[in-house]
């Protein structure tokens, strides 16, 4: 390693040193040790190789000095050639060990990344839905990428670096002191002149890089939001293209200016340190040559000292920054452990049961529920806020009770925010009730296995979410072992088979981000086809036809009729036809069941249900107004039915 490489190493360590003064946490170290335990044999071999490689790096200058002495002393050619061959052998051995060391480093580092990523990914999947509603996706992804990679460097880079640098430093100092303690002390006196500018310039460059990273992140956010399908549509409808371009250009220009400044700072630093390193070598050769001419030092020793000088600065500089590097790795580990320490609110009991095959009943028994507060489900760093929102935990459902017998339909109606969707989310156990019980086939869902709940209960939401994958992949999410014949059958039942067959790639057509390549009705029917493929015994429809035009809604309604046939259903009603078909209608207000009964019974009560009914049809359907005012009658038929004015809570 020459002095220029040493200078770059010094600058790199200074730039990446984080000013973190927190003490080491023994608990964190124990957890790190548990992650490292499976890789312990490889780590031991890696450290042994690091020690041997460091010893070989010091041996080369010493042998080079022997060669010079042999030439000066006029020794036999065989000795000179033998020493040269020894240098070549050391170089070959060093190269081979370096490759082996790098292989172990990669295996350890990548293995640790795999373990950490799997641990975080698996843990995040067990966290409640409330976690995802609060967390910024980009911040969470950063934990799986940047912080995991930062943590693995503690093993693949920092650990081996500390060991090899300590060995190199001790061996180098020992050899240099044995050759000339005067020149060695001179080299140590010059070290601050080498290291201090590196730390100062490194800190300055680090500030510039952080500013550039901030602007790059802002540009990335702007591009991510503007280049998504809904974002691009919003910009085209309401955006000002010139202002958008000017804002982006301003940030990009600042990044350019920072790049120019960084390049000049690096160039000035390298020029200065190259000059310092040249002066150091000049002093070694000058003082060493003086001692050699006086006969107190061999010429070979002068050459060896000059070569060893570069091997002295590099480990000293690296070790000076070792603590901050270790602390940086510790910070990354702690950020990963933060996520792993979030407790899943939904857990499966060891003796959990399964649901019996066949039609099942659904029951809510005096259920109380409040959404968990932020401190139980989220992290301030993942929400990218200074402190977590202290609100939350208020009760939103109060003593909700009802029962749907096998094959029956229960419809939920009410004002926006009344708690209808909350009720729907408790049944598939996206959340657990705070009091009371939610039962499927007479068994509390908390006593059932998660797999059994997923197989028994299917849900269609109003957003009809799809992954940016093929139609086939989105459908097989419900039943991975389904055949193409079964897939086409559910598409036929969802009134989508003709559309999919006409696509150039058929089932392999990519639907786009969130399914935006499909219309709203097509996307919703595809989610219904996925439900049909899953063949659940209980179906939940959460505003499944909301925000659709009449044509799309009619097609979706036909598909829903297929989905509901013979199944127990809980439906957040959107159309009067759905309400009229329900065996039981629950009117939900402020988290309470304020009315219950059939369509005819509720109209006869002249209560909240009649108000909802009148609001929708007062200006559009004379017959409906008459029904609401004079008493219940049977409308002409399902074709006369119109949507009931209920929005998703």
Q: Is 605 exposed, middle or buried (0-12, 13-18, 19+ CB in 10 A)?
A: middle
Same domain, 333 and 408: no
317: which 2 tokens?
């500089």
Q: How much is the pLDDT for 25?
A: 64
Q: Is residue 452 part of a domain?
A: yes
In a domain, 355, yes or no: no
Residue 500 located in a structural domain:
yes
pLDDT reported for residue 642:
34
- Torsions phi, psi of 368, nearest 5? -110, 145
Q: Average pLDDT, stretch 50-66?
A: 85
User: For 514, left (φ over 0), alpha (ψ -120 to 50), or beta?
Assistant: left
**Distance in angstroms (rounded) separating the CA atoms of residues 141 and 125:** 13
Contact between residue 544 and residue 460 where contact means Cβ atoms under 8 Å apart = yes
Closest CA to 259 of 217, 201, 197, 211: 211
Task: Decide if 399 is inside a domain.
Answer: no
CATH number at residue 475: 3.40.50.300
| 524 domain-assigned | yes
Range picked from 160-169, 262-271, 436-445, 630-639 for highest mean pLDDT: 436-445
pLDDT band at 535 (very low <50, low <70, confident <90, very high): confident
Does the pTM surpass 0.85? The reply is no
Candidates 428, 452, 419, 461; CA nearest to 128 is: 428
For the chain, how many structural domains are there in total?
Answer: 2
Cβ neighbours of 368 (radius 10 Å): 15
Confidence of residue 637 (pLDDT cuts 50, 70, 90): very low
Q: Looking at the structure, do residues 373 and 302 belong to the same domain, yes or no?
A: no
What CA–CA distance (Å, rounded) separates 570 from 585? 10
User: Range of 62's domain?
Assistant: 3-340
Q: pLDDT value at position 164? A: 78
Give phi and psi for 396, each to the nearest 5: -115, -20
Contacting residues for 144 by C-beta, under 8 A, at least 6 apart: 117, 120, 121
pLDDT tens per residue across span 223-260: 766 776 667 766 766 666 777 788 888 888 888 888 88
Q: Can you give the pLDDT at residue 641? A: 34
The more confident residue out of 423 and 621 is 423
Average pLDDT over residues 353-368: 90
Q: How far is it, in rounded angstroms, from Cα 299 to Cα 68? A: 7
Closest CA to 627 of 646, 587, 607, 600: 600
469 and 416 fall within a common domain: yes
Digit-coded pLDDT (tens) for 372-411: 877 777 777 677 665 666 666 688 999 999 999 998 889 9
Instruction: Retrieve residue 209's tokens.
Output: 């890089």
Q: Are residues 334 and 366 in the same domain?
A: no
Residue ranges in 180-296 assigned as alpha helix (H):
181-227, 229-238, 241-293
pLDDT digits (tens, 9 = 90+) for 498-521: 888 888 888 888 887 767 777 777
Spatial distance between the Cα atoms of 101 and 53, rounded to a whole number of angstroms:
9
321 with 371, same domain?
Answer: no
State mean pLDDT over 62-67: 86
State both tokens at 182. Answer: 């005067």
Q: Return all residues near 397 (Cβ < 8 A) that are at least 6 apart.
A: 367, 368, 369, 370, 419, 422, 423, 426, 433, 591, 592
What is the average pLDDT value for the chain, to the nearest integer?
A: 77
Same domain, 83 and 167: yes
**Three-class SS of residue 397?**
strand
Top-ranked range on mean pLDDT: pick from 331-335, 390-394, 502-506, 634-638: 502-506
* Strand order across the beta sheet in which 362-370 lies: 395-404, 362-370, 435-440, 443-444
Note the pLDDT tens digit of each residue in 577-609. 667 778 899 999 999 999 999 988 998 998 988
Torsion from C-alpha of 49, 52, 56, 58, nearest 10 degrees: 120
Tell me, yes or no, whether 384 lies in a domain. no
Say how far apart CA 398 and CA 366 lie, in whole Å.
7
Q: Are residues 324 and 367 in the same domain?
A: no
Q: Are residues 219 and 92 in the same domain?
A: yes
Are 196 and 256 part of one and the same domain? Answer: yes
What angle is formed at CA 230 by the lines to CA 468 and CA 497, rounded to 5 degrees?
Answer: 45
- Asked if 241 and 279 sit in the same domain, the reply is yes
β pairing state of 592-597 and 584-589: antiparallel
CB 60 within 8 A of CB 91: yes
Residue 32 in any domain: the answer is yes
Contact 616, 642 (CB under 8 A): yes
Instruction: Indicate whether 371 and 290 sit together in one domain.
Output: no
280 closest CA partner among 189, 197, 177: 189
Contacts of range 92-98, beta carbons closer than 8 Å, 24 or more positions apart: 93/56, 94/53, 94/56, 94/57, 94/60, 97/49, 97/52, 97/53, 97/56, 98/53
Domain containing 110 — which CATH number? 1.20.1560.10
Per-residue model confidence as pLDDT tens digits over 176-225 = 888 888 888 877 776 666 666 666 666 676 677 667 766 776 777 677 66
Is there a single domain that holds both residue 302 and residue 410? Answer: no
The stretches of 39-159 forming alpha helices (DSSP H) are 40-72, 77-125, 129-134, 137-142, 148-153
Tell me, what's the pLDDT at 1? 46
State pLDDT tens for residues 68-99: 888 877 767 888 888 889 989 998 998 898 88
Element spanning 180, H or E: none
The pLDDT value recorded for residue 399 is 94
- Residue 648 forms part of a structural domain: no
- Cα separation, 608 vs 261, whole angstroms: 69
Are the C-beta atoms of residues 39 and 154 closer than 8 Å to each other?
no
Whole-number Å distance between alpha carbons of 195 and 643: 75
Domain boundary among 310, 340, 370: 340
Q: Given this model, what pLDDT does residue 629 score? A: 38
């Amino acid at each position: 390693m020459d002095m220029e490489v040493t200078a770059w190493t010094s600058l790199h360590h200074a730039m990446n040193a984080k000013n973190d003064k927190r003490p080491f946490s023994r608990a964190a170290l124990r957890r790190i040790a548990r992650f490292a335990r499976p890789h312990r044999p490889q780590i031991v071999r890696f450290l042994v190789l690091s020690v041997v490689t460091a010893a070989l790096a010091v041996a080369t200058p010493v042998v080079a000095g022997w060669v010079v002495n042999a030439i000066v002393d006029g020794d036999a050619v065989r000795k000179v050639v033998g020493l040269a061959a020894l240098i070549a052998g050391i170089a070959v051995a060093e190269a081979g060990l370096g490759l082996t060391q790098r292989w172990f480093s990669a295996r350890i580092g990548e293995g640790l990344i795999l373990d950490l990523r799997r641990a975080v990914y698996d843990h995040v999947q067990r966290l409640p839905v409330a976690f995802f509603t609060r967390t910024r996706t980009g911040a969470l992804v950063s934990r799986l990428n940047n912080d995991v990679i930062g943590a693995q460097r503690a093993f693949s880079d920092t650990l081996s670096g500390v060991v090899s640098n300590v060995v190199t430093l001790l061996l180098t100092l020992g050899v240099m002191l044995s050759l000339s303690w005067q020149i060695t002390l001179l080299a140590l006196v010059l070290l601050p002149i080498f290291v201090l500018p590196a730390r100062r310039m490194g800190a300055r460059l680090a500030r510039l890089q952080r500013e550039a990273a901030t602007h790059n992140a802002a540009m990335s956010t702007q591009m991510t939001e503007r280049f998504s399908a809904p974002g691009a549509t919003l910009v085209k409808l309401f955006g000002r293209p010139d202002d958008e371009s000017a804002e982006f250009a301003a940030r990009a220009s600042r990044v350019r200016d920072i790049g120019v400044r960084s390049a000049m700072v690096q160039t000035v630093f390298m020029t200065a340190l190259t000059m310092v390193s040249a002066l150091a070598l000049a002093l070694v050769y000058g003082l060493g040559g003086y001692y050699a001419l006086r006969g107190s030092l061999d010429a070979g020793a002068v050459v060896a000292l000059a070569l060893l000088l570069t091997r002295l600065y590099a480990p000293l500089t690296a070790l000076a920054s070792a603590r901050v590097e270790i602390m940086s790795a510790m910070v990354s580990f702690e950020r990963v452990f933060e996520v792993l320490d979030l407790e899943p609110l939904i857990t499966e009991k060891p003796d959990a049961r399964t649901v019996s095959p066949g039609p099942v009943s659904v029951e809510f028994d005096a259920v109380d529920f409040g959404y968990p507060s932020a401190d139980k489900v989220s992290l301030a760093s993942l929400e990218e806020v200074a402190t977590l929102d202290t609100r939350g935990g208020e009760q939103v459902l109060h003593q909700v009770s009802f029962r749907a017998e096998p094959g029956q339909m229960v419809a939920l109606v009410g004002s926006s925010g009344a708690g209808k969707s909350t009720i729907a989310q408790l049944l598939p156990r996206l959340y657990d009730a705070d009091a009371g019980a939610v039962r499927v086939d007479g068994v509390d869902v908390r006593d059932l296995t998660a797999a059994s709940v997923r197989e028994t209960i299917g849900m269609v939401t109003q957003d009809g979410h799809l992954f940016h994958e093929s139609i086939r992949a989105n459908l097989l999410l419900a039943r991975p072992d389904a055949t193409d014949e079964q897939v086409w059958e559910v598409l036929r039942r969802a009134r989508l088979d003709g559309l999919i067959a006409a696509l150039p790639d058929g089932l392999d057509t990519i639907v786009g981000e969130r399914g935006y390549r499909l219309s709203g009705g097509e996307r919703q029917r595809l989610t219904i086809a996925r439900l049909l493929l899953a063949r659940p015994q209980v179906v939940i429809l959460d505003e499944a036809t909301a925000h659709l035009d009449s044509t799309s809604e009619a097609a979706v309604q036909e598909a829903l009729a297929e989905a509901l046939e013979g199944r127990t259903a809980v439906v957040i009603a959107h159309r009067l036809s759905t309400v009229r078909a329900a065996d039981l209608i629950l009117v939900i207000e402020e988290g309470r069941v304020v009315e219950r009964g059939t369509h005819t019974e509720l109209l006869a009560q002249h209560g909240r249900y009649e108000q909802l009914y009148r609001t929708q049809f007062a200006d559009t359907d004379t017959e409906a107004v008459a029904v609401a005012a004079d008493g219940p009658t049977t409308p002409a038929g399902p074709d006369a039915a119109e949507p009931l004015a209920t929005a998703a809570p």
